[in-house]
Structures are given as C-alpha cells and as structure tokens.
Structure 1
Amino acid sequence: MEVSTLLHQIDFTTILVFILIFIVTNNIVTNLRRLPGPWAWPLVGNLPNLLGYKKSFDPPLHLRQKYGNIVGLKLGPMGLVYICGHKALTDVFQKKTEFTKYRPNWVYLATRLTGKTGIVWSNGDLNHHIRKFSLSALRDFGLGKTSLEDKILEEAHVLSDSLAKSKGSPVALDTLLPKAVSNVISSIVFGSRFDYNDEDFESLLQRLDYIVVNSNYKLLENYLPFLEKILPNSKVRKIVKTRNDFNDYIRKEINLHKKSFDRGNIRDFIDLFIDQETNESEDALTDEDLFQTIFDLYVAGSETTATSLMWIFLFMIKYPEVQTRCREDIKKVVGDKNVTFKDRAKLPYIAATVNEIMRLKTIAPLGIPRTTMEDIQIDGITIPKRCTIVEVLISAHYDTDYWENPEEFHPERFLDENNSIIRREAFYPFGLGKRVCLAKQLAETEMFLFFATLLQRFRFENAQPEVPLDMDGISPGVTYSPSPYKVLLQKL
C-alpha cells in the first residue's frame, strides 16, 4: 500500500488516540523510573502538588512526611529533587559539595534575570572570579574590621533617632529597618549612605522587595517559558522589567563614578570594579557581572538581614521575659557604651536568642537550586547526574532527630552548662557547602549590632495587645517574613 493512500485512511481521531497513548505510556514509564515522590501527571507533572499552600516551603515538608527525606518531582518537562533532614542535607551538599556546587541552567526566571552571572547564579571560573572579587572588596571596605562596625553602629544610631520621634505612637518597623540595614551595603557599593526619605533609595528598595517577594518555584513560566509572551499579566515579565529598572539606576551610578574616578582614591565597590576593568585583566568582570553582583549583595546583605531583624523584634514582643534578660545582660557587660561585635562572646544569651529565632524562622527556607555533576548515592537512593536539587534548610532546623521539641522557642538550646554558646550541627541558616552565603559574616555582624543597640535604647511592646500576634508569617517567594506588625517603643 502506498504511503499517500495509508495517510488518507488515517483520520484525526486515530491520530489523537495515538498521541494520547504515547503520552500516557511515556508518563507511566517516567513514573516507574522516578525517585520516591508523588505520581506525576502528563504534561504538567507535579505542578499541582505545589499549589494550595500558604508558604513556599510547605510542599516539601508535607511531601517529606509521606515519601521521606529525598522527594523527586517532575515540574512540566523538568525534574527536581527536594533534599530534607540534617543527615541527607549534609550528605548531599557538604560531603558531596564538589559535585553539588553548580547551579542548573534551566530555571527560566533565573536566566532571564541574571544571564547566569553574579554571585548566586554563575558557575565555574566566572563564579570563582566574582566571589573572589566580591569578598576582597567587602574586606577592603571593612568586613571583619572595626571600620565596618563603625558604619553599622552609625546607622543603628540614626535609626534609633528616627524611631525615637514616634514618641509613644505605634511604629511599623518595616518602614525604617530595611532602609537602615540597606544603608550599610549602600555605603560599601556606592561610597555613601542614603537619607531615609531619598526617592531613589526608596525606589531601589521597592524594586528589590518586589523581585524577592514574587520570585518563586511556582511560577509557571519557569517550566513553560512561552507563557511569558502570551500571558497578559505575566509575573516573570513584570519581574524582569523591575530588574531592568534596578539596573538602570546602577548604570547611572557607574557612569557618575567613571567621571570622577581616581585610581589613587578608591572609594567603594564600584570604583574597585572600574579599576579592574581598566587594567584589562583576563578575569575582568563586565557591566552585567557588576549589575547582578550588586543585586546579590543587596539581597544577601540587606533584604534577608532586615527580615531577620523583623522576626527578632517580633519575638521580643511575644516573649518580654527574653527581651528583659537580653537587655539586662547588655547593661551588665556593656553598660551605656556602644556595643561592639567583640562583645558577642561575652553576651552568649543574646547570640543564643538570635540563633534560636533564625532556626525557627529560617529566612531562606529553600536554598537556591543546584545540579548534580555525577550520580549520588544516599541511603540506597540514586540521585541522577544533572538532576536539579533543592536544599530544604528549614527541615534540618525542625529535625526531631537533632532537636528536642523543635517547635518551641528555647534560646537555651544553644548554650552549654557553662552558659557558653555552642555550635549545633543541624543549624545552618546561611546554607551548606561551596555555596554558603557570601555575606554570612556581614549579616551576623549587622544582626547582633542592630539588635543590641536598639535594645539598649528601647523597650519593645505590642501596639495592639488585644490582637494575637501572628507568629506564622508569610513566604510567597524566596524569603520567609513576618506579617506586617506595629510596635510601641518605650525609650529607656
């Protein structure tokens, strides 16, 4: 029989049935080969399993209860594996760190936003150069030195003065605290701080917040990229536009810096970039590298730190007895002098309180995705090469194998019998392995100094004692934040 004759005898229904059989068969075969996890639907995979939850980290925690510490999902055409629990997390991301340090190249939103550059999303030699350059710059401008502490303390006092103007009226900390913390990284990047009412500063932080809040795993465009062009209100399209606006401001600052650049007087992070650019080194970073690196520094060094502090002060309102003990310790050790980071070792209860809040309210509960560079064997399960994996950090912080009554707020769990701070192995709010947060030291310094300085000056009270405090929080995107709240500040 001729091919043309055969084709005429095949009607549309036959073709449709053939396609459906192929899809169903392929779906069955795919599911039989999969890691522990829920059955994947044709075409959409397990995207329905991520819907209907309030917080971004609820799906992996829920799935873990049924399938264990390693949960495989198929999201559209892409595969993803959640790694949960302290043992599995350290086995995969710490012991196998050389094979889990790369970012995947398929996450559509990340590619659109970053171009695979910056501290967070770059790989290989480029990531090495950016991290080395950024860490060197942070150290040049005071990281680990009293010079940066002085900038943080200066900003903490400016914030204190602004808060004092409330004179007993309810205050929304989220209107000022992010500006104060962001001014620390601003002084490093731009060489100066912003006034809290500066319109450019407010616009910069609003754009940053929009991107962080709206970037998440559930965006359909991540798995079906063509939707960005056809959806009338594509979230990815809005995020990318917001990011481009952020870059426009950085570009303007670079141009201003270039006009006044003096190699004998390096003022800030941008000057360092211009200096290495003019040296024409093979490792020189591009403007795109700089845009993304500055964005990453703002997220790591200000956005997440400000959110952590918002949680810390909410807990102080919820647990006034803890707030009182923290303040009494500060008075006993420091008195009315400025607190320094060196005082942290002499204030173990303060450090323990901060750690316990970071454990309970892990700011980045889901780590940024990585990819496996070889097959990894964990507890009899094989995670395939080139598989996208996600560290569910918050699962380790609630792991009952390592924490007694993990749902409870108990700062003393970070203190030993001598009242000294101890390191808990299942505690790593800044991540694991080669991709641990670059701004970890900066964030820890900022949290301690802002927290202790404000406690010296104010007593924090609930502005609406008749309304129960919302301790559950929200996590629509990358970070886990407290719901908006107001405080009464009693000046001491």
Structure 2
Amino acid sequence: MDTLQLVQTQPYATTLALGAVFLFFLFWFTTKRSKLPTVPAVPGLPVIGNLLQLKEKKPYKTFTQMAEKYGPIYSIRTGAFTLIVLNSAQVAKEAMVTKYSSISSRKLSSALQILTSNKCMVAMSDYNEFHKMIKRHILANVLGANAQKRHRLHREVMMENLSRQFNEHVKTTYDLAVNFREIFASELFGLSMKQALGSNVESIYVEELGSTLSRDDVYKILVLDIMEGAIEVDWRDFFPYLKWIPNKSIEMKIQKLYDRRKAVMKALMNEQRKRLASGKEENCYFDYLLSEAKELTEDQLSMLIWETIIETADTTLVTTEWAIYELAKDKNRQERLYEELRNVCGHEKITEGQLAKLPYLGAVFHETLRKHSPAPIVPIRYAHEDTELGGYHIPAGSEIAINIYGCNMDKEQWENPQQWAPERFLDEKYDNADLYKTMAFGAGKRVCAGSLQAMLIACTAIGTLVQEFEWKLRQGEEEENVDTVGLTTHKLHPLQVKLKPRKQVRR
C-alpha cells in the first residue's frame, strides 16, 4: 500500500518541484531586470508633462539642451505618453541595430499619418513585408548603385544647367547677390521628375483642380506644401482619450494638402500612361513599377512615385545650400577645397568618378551633414516589449525619439561641435569609403536608402560650383541671423551669395 501511494504521489511531487524551479527562475529574472535603473525623467507639469517646453517647432534643439543636464538618454512626458529621447550615437545605434526588433514600428502624428497615406512610403513604413518589397524596388530602379549609374546622365545635365544659370547671372547682374536656393531647387526638382516619371514638366492640366498648373505650382504642391504640413501639430495626438473633440481647422488643412497632392500625381501619371501607350519607354521609376510591381494599388503607386520626388528634391537641397553657405563664410576653407579640386581635376570639370580622390570635398559634405543634419529627428518609434537601452530599462509602450542633431552635437564625441570644421573628417579613423560617418543617414536595417544619391549629387554640385566661382556671402547673411524652418532643416531664408568667376574649366 505504501509503495502504491508513493507511485501515485510521485507525479504531483515532480510537478511541484518543476513549479518551484520555474518560480525561482521567474523571481531571479524579475529581480535581475528590476536592478536596471529607470531612465532619468525631465520634470514636467501635471497632465501636460513637458509639452510647453516643446512649443517651438524645433524640438531637436530643445532635446539637445535637455541632454546637457539630464544625460544622453532621458524621458519626458508628452501628454498621455512617455517619450524616451536618445542623444548619443552609441545609444542611437543600439536602438537602431541591436535592439531594433523591439522598437521597429513607427509612431506618426495625425498629419503625417494622412500625408504618408498610412505609412505608404519607404521612409515611413513599419518594418514589414511591404517595406521590404518597396525598398527592394526603389533600390533596383532609383537609389541602388546600378540604378545610380543608369541615372548618371540626368545628374550630369543638372550640373551643366547649374553652371549655365550661375554664369548667366554673373554676366547680367554681376554686382547683385544670387538666390542660390531658387536655382538649385529648380534643377534638383527637374532631376527628381526625370528619375520618377521620365520627364520634367513645364505645365500640366489637373482635372480635379480645374486648372493648368505651372512647374512652380507643381513644385509647391508636391514639395513645399507637404513639408510645411508635416510639422503641423494636432494637440489631440498627445491626449488620445480626447480624440472625440473636433479640430476641424487642422483636419481640413491636412486633408486639402493630401487631396491636392493626389490630384497632381494622378495628372502626372496619366500623362506618362499616354506616353507608354504611344510605345515610348523611359528609364524611370514609374515605368519600372508598372512592369515589376503589378500588385500595387493606384494609391500606393502614386505615393511611391511621389516619395522619390520629394526626397530627392528636398534633403539634398538642404545639405548643398548649407555647404555653400559655410564655404562662402570661410574663405580659407573654400580656397583649400579649390586647391584640392585643381590638383586632382586640373582644368577639367569634376566628375563623379573623381570623388574618391577628393578627401577634403568628402569632409566638407560629411561635416555639413553633421552640423546641419537635414532630418534632425528619426520619426518616432515605440517599444513593442520591455527592452534595454544604454543600461536603462525601457518598458513596453514607451515611445522612442532618436535625436540625430543631438548625436551630432554630442560633446563627448565631437570636439567643438558647434564649429563647422571639415578637417575633423580627415582623421585616419574615418574610412573615405564609408558613407556613414555621422548619424545623418541613420543605421541598421532602416539606414537611409538615398545616401549614395545624396552624396553623388551634393559632392559633385559643391565641387562644380567651387571649381567655377568664388563664393561670398551677401551682407546680412552672418551666422547670428541664421535659423532653420520646416520638417527638414532648411535655412529660414534662401541663401544669397555673390559670385566671382574663376579661370574657366573645360566642359
């Protein structure tokens, strides 16, 4: 009888033993995790938290100032949410590379949710099968290394046009400053249209708007208006439990921007369909997607074509304008770059094939990206699960903001970060072949797909313009009068510069 009872009770004893072991490890894991400190919190007000400290539309600068007091990683309260802000490259790379699987989803504002058509963009989509598919397409036809070789002729034409327009300005209005942005933005927009749709446009009739739009109108609707709308703040984003309260003014504004963009893109794509129907094919993204991505809806097709236009036409403009500004302000560094160009290129115009032989030009590009990060904050993500960053416990549900500007102004990594000093990138620790010397292009699986194109356009343009002209700031363009505006860090006012032709290079 005793033996029988022992046999019958043994499974229960085993179960109890296993349960005890499980509880021990659970206790040990919980205790171990609890030893991780919580992220330092920036003091704020009840209910609204730190929102008043972010009232300006340049939160990246506020975040950087907070980092000087609270360290490279801290938390703030934005209404109902906790936002973890990362301000150092080390912690940012940890978030974007090693801990990416825990924080890979985007958290967009109401305005961006509408303007991106519910994340229907390579840059804004969550990391999922749709993202992998559309990124593969954009690399294959527009942004990858082989695609860049196929589009090289478009960039060469752009450089010729830039040279011609600036030379015409010198001949006709030598004593007056030139609006650099006006000329460069126009040529960059033309390049983006050729890559995206196969042709530039001078005007187009848009049925939904009932009017014929000029090229400037199209640029405004597709680029300028969207970049302005993207920074609109709907206070309900911070208090989701108050979503039921209407905010008609911002809803109508954003919806109007979306509808106008959609109508113009429809008209542009219909023109290209007529071209294809006539039997004429072009090396452009539109033709490629119609052939290789038949699973896309019409709205997705429109958004993906538009994405290549706005991203080519905007961020590269920001970097090039700031680079010319810094060079025009600093005669010694401008002459150093000119001497390098003369030694490598002689009297021939610079070509993309020579960029690897021009380390100082590369340093100018990377230092401009560092000081004037075009996209200063990575679109907010959120943690799907409990994780760890920078030695701190990050609870599930936390929102994560990666402050690229703060990373590139980190005094622990950069000496005199407020100073524009290209020489810092001539140090041996920087590999000339490495595009990712700063955090400007991000890191990991979501590294910027357009980094190669940005480098090719900006470096060749900067080299071409310094080869052909001496640049000098117009009076009143001093540093203390410089500010930024927009989702990307545009100069508040277009760059005004005076030109003096150098000895002409052979073209």
Fold shared, TM-score > 0.5 on shorter chain? yes
Matches within 5 A, 1:311-350: 311-350=322-361
TM-score under structure 2 normalisation?
Answer: 0.80
Q: Is the 8 A contact 2:367 2:422 kept in 1?
A: yes
- Residue 36 of structure 1 corresponds to 40
Task: Find the partner of 1:117 among 102, 117, 120.
Answer: 120
Alignment correspondent of 2:70: 67
Q: CA 1:255/1:199 → structure 2, altered by over 3 Å: closer, same or farther?
A: closer
| Secondary structure in structure 2 of the residue aligned to 1:302 | helix
Pairwise mapping of residues 286-435 of structure 1 onto structure 2 (< 5 A)?
286-416=297-427, 421=432, 427-435=438-446
* Structure 1 residue 137 corresponds to structure 2 residue 158: no
What is the CA–CA distance in structure 1 between the aligned matches of 2:435 and 2:264, rounded to whole Å?
42
For residues 482 and 265 of structure 1, do their structure 2 counterparts lie closer, same or farther at Cα, with a shift above 3 Å needed?
closer
How far off its partner does 1:471 sit?
5.8
- 4+ residue stretches of structure 1 with deviation over 6 A? 225-229, 417-420
Q: 1:276-291 to 2 correspondence within 5 Å?
A: 276=292, 278=294, 284-291=295-302
1:481 counterpart (463, 487, 490): 490
* Structure 1 position 256 matched with structure 2 position 271: yes
Q: CA deviation at 1:290?
A: 2.2
Q: Which residue does the alignment assign to 1:29?
A: none
Task: Specify the alignment match of 2:256 in structure 1.
Answer: 241
Partner of 1:83: 86
Cα distance in 1, alignment partners of residues 362 and 424 from structure 2: 11
Shift of 1:212: 1.5
Secondary structure of the corresponding residue to residue 82 of structure 2: strand
Classify the secondary structure of the residue corresponding to 1:144. helix
Report the aligned-residue RMSD: 3.0
- Partner amino acid for 1:488? K
Deviation larger for 41-50 or 363-372: 41-50
Name the structure 2 match of 1:7: none
Whichever residue aligns with residue 103 of structure 1, its letter is: R
Higher Rg:
2
Q: Distance between the aligned counterparts of 2:88 and 2:259, measured in 1?
A: 37
Counterpart amino acid of 1:173? F
Distance 1:371 1:227, change over 3 A: closer
Q: CA deviation at 1:217?
A: 7.5
Q: Matched residues in 1 for 2:427 and 2:481: separation?
A: 29
AA aligned to 1:187 is: K
How far, CA to CA, are the matches of 1:476 and 1:162 in structure 2? 26
Displacement of 1:391: 0.9
Give the CA deviation at 1:337: 2.4
**Deviations along 1:139-185, whole A, 9 cap, x unmatched?**
6896331x422211211111221222223121111211111112222
Q: Which residue is equivalent to 1:25?
A: none
Is 1:490 aligned to 2:500, yes or no? yes
Contact kept? 1:228, 1:237, Cα under 8 Å: no
1:204 alignment counterpart: 218
Is the CA contact (8 Å cut-off) linking 1:141 and 1:148 kept in structure 2? no
| Structure 2 equivalent of residue 193 of structure 1 | 200
Q: Distance in 1 between matches of 2:144 and 2:434?
A: 29
Q: Which shows bigger deviation, 269-278 or 123-132?
A: 269-278
Offset of residue 50 of structure 1: 0.7
Q: Are the structure 2 counterparts of residues 379 and 259 from structure 1 closer, same or farther at C-alpha, using a change threshold of 3 Å?
A: closer
Q: Verify: 1:273 aligned to 2:298, yes or no.
A: no
Which residue of structure 1 aligns with residue 95 of structure 2?
92
Paired-residue identity, % = 21
**Cα shift at 1:220:** 2.3
Q: Shift of the alpha carbon at 1:194? A: 4.2
For 1:176, give the aligned amino acid: I
- Structure 2 unpaired stretches of 5+: 1-36, 205-211, 503-507
1:469 is aligned to 2:474: no
Distance (whole Å) between structure 1 residues aligned to residue 201 and residue 274 of structure 2? 21
For the 8 Å contact 1:327–1:456, the answer to whether it is kept is: yes
- 1:432-485 residue CA offsets vs partner (Å, 9 max, x unmatched): 222211111111111011111122221111222xx3513674344321122323
**Deviation per CA, 1:325-356, whole angstroms, max 9, x where unpaired?**
11121122112323222211111111111111
Is this contact kept in 1: 2:87–2:410, CA < 8 A?
Answer: no
Is residue 138 of structure 2 the alignment partner of residue 127 of structure 1? Answer: no
Task: Call closer, same or farther: CA 1:458–1:48 in 2, change over 3 Å.
Answer: same
Contact preservation (8 Å) 2:81, 2:238: yes
- Alignment CA distance shift 1:142-1:427 (3 Å): same
Contact 1:339 1:452 in 2 (8 A): yes
Which residue type is aligned with residue 110 of structure 1?
Answer: L
1:56, 1:477 within 8 Å by CA — same for their partners in 2?
A: no
8 A contact 2:140–2:146 mirrored in 1? no
The aligned counterpart of 1:49 is: 53
CA offsets per residue over residues 171-224 of structure 1, 9 Å max, x none?
111211111112222111110234599954312322312321342385425335
Structure 2 Cα separation of the partners of residues 195 and 254 of structure 1: 15
Q: Residues 379, 312 of structure 1: CA spacing in aligned structure 2 closer, same or farther, 3 A cutoff?
A: closer
Query: Displacement, 1:314?
Result: 0.5
In terms of mean alpha carbon deviation, does 478-487 or 414-423 score higher?
A: 414-423
Match of 1:153 in 2: 156
Instruction: Pick closer, same or farther for the CA change 1:353–1:426 going to 2, 3 Å.
Output: closer
Paired with 1:190 and 1:107, the residues of 2 have a C-alpha distance of 29
Alpha carbons of structure 1 residues 50 and 269: separation in structure 2 relative to 1, 3 Å: same
Higher mean Cα deviation, 193-202 or 260-269? 193-202
Q: 1:93 to 1:360 in 2, by over 3 A?
A: same
Aligned to 1:478, what secondary structure does the other structure show? coil
| Distance (Å, rounded) in 1 between the aligned partners of 2:297 and 2:321 | 35
